[in-house]
Amino acid sequence: MTFLRRVGLLALVATLTTGCANLWTTGEAGKDSGGAPASSSDSGGSTGSNLFSNPMMCAAAGALLAGGVGSVENKEAMAIGAVAGGLLGWWACGQQEKPLADADKDGVADKVDLCPGTAEGAKVGSDGCAVDKDTDMDGIPDAADKCAGTPKGAAVDATGCIPTADADKDGVADVNDLCPNTPAGAAVMPNGCEMDSDGDGIPDSRDRCASTPNGVKVGTDGCAVDSDGDGVSDILDRCPNTKSGAKVDAAGCEMGGGAASAPRTDSGAAAAGAAAAGAAGLALPKTAGETLVLKGVTFETASSKLKRESLGTLNDIAEQLKESGAKVEISGHTDNVGSAAVNQALSQKRAEVVMTYLTSKGVPAESLVAKGYGSQAPVTDNGSAAGRAKNRRVELKLLGQ
């Protein structure tokens, strides 16, 4: 019985001694003076922790301690104590929990850390990922976001703000600019690309006919082309598929045939003759800013389609413009019937139709500008039918020679 008590006492001493040593060094060496986890480069306590985490060292310590206590009795007790202490020391050391690897030092072991690269000092959840809110969902936590109200989907820098660099100075930051080389002064859409108001594929900055009707084929200047090569642009051509080389009239239809070339009625011929006679008396302005009303140039009601009797006047004006080389603005005007927006659009289209016809007759496009004024510049009162008729007009304003 005495022998068993001695063995039990020695085993208890060995277990407690080696186990406590291991616990102490593991806990203390893993902390710096402030109680935070120490880095792998710390000295002193870290060395002790590594020392007592080694089962061989624990066994040796247990053997020395238990053997020393046993030597008080006799050599036999010393030997028994050394063996028992060594075995129990080895076992006790192996039972201690080893610290798990935590590369980003966020307190969550690597093996369960779903965000192993968390920034140092960031507050994390049990999965090791930052728990800071990202209100605007730009990928930058609110704690580091200097622009926490960034629009959804906008590209941001490391501070959570939209970069302000704008190389082409169009008002759209380079990071969001799909057309980073927009010409200076050009009107652009939110994506940084130029406006194309009429959707003809020609940006407004290069479109001389910015209200071309849908479906009309245009050239590089944004104005209607002459697909069948008969000398009449598509926008005015009532017979757009005339045979090559065929002689056509002003409407683009083959002479001597077709509904558009049918003999005119007496009233139609008289109207055309009156228009031609009136055109003979029209002369281009001589002073910059001076205007000329193109009498005889009329359109179908609520339409930008020229009436046939308008062509004589425009042909004469085209010859004068080619001879003089003058640069003019073609101004479209309407009465006040209907909405202002509709009148504005109609006046612009009418001005562009006149411009297209003149260019089809050889007037350089660069010498012409089409602009609609809607009902904003009446020449008389719109209170009567006669007054409204006068306000519906097309003018030429001399811009220079």
90-149: pLDDT as tens digits? 777 666 656 678 888 888 888 888 888 777 777 777 887 777 777 777 778 777 777 877
Residue 223 clears pLDDT 50, i.e. is over it: yes
pLDDT of amino acid 7? 60
Residue 296 clears pLDDT 50, i.e. is over it: yes
pLDDT of amino acid 194? 74
pLDDT of amino acid 34? 38
17 confidence band (pLDDT: 50, 70, 90): low
Give the distance from CA 360 to its chain's centroid: 39
pLDDT averaged over every residue in the chain: 74
Residue 364 clears pLDDT 80, i.e. is over it: yes
Give the integer Cα–Cα distance in Å for 113 and 120. Answer: 14
Mean per-residue pLDDT, 226-245: 78
Give the integer Cα–Cα distance in Å for 62 and 13. Answer: 8
pLDDT of amino acid 38? 41
Give the integer Cα–Cα distance in Å for 60 and 363. Answer: 109
pLDDT of amino acid 374? 93
pLDDT of amino acid 53? 58
Nearest to 89 by CA among 8, 5, 9, 12: 12
% the chain with pLDDT above 70: 67
Residue spans of the domains in the chain: they are 2-34+42-95, 102-146, 266-400
% the chain with pLDDT above 90: 18
Mean per-residue pLDDT, 236-241: 74
84 confidence band (pLDDT: 50, 70, 90): confident
pLDDT of amino acid 258? 44
Three-state secondary structure call for residue 355: helix
309 contacts: CB under 8 Å, gap ≥ 6: 268, 271, 272, 274, 275, 296, 298
Give the integer Cα–Cα distance in Å for 107 and 120. Answer: 11
Give the distance from CA 261 to its chain's centroid: 52
Residue 368 clears pLDDT 50, i.e. is over it: yes
pLDDT of amino acid 187? 74
pLDDT of amino acid 331? 95
Residue that has been written with the tokens 């624990």 in this structure? 58
Between 293 and 92, the more confident residue is 293
Residues 18-61 have pLDDT tens digits of 554 554 444 444 444 334 344 444 444 444 445 555 667 666 76
DSSP 366: G
pLDDT of amino acid 161? 79
Give the distance from CA 37 to its chain's centroid: 46
Residue range 266-400 in CATH 3.30.1330.60: yes
Residue 151 clears pLDDT 70, i.e. is over it: yes
Per-residue b or e along 115-143, where b marks 16 or more CB atoms closer than 10 Å to that residue's CB: beebeeebebeeebbbeeebebebebbee
Helix axes 266-280, 311-324, angle to 10 degrees: 20
pLDDT of amino acid 9? 56
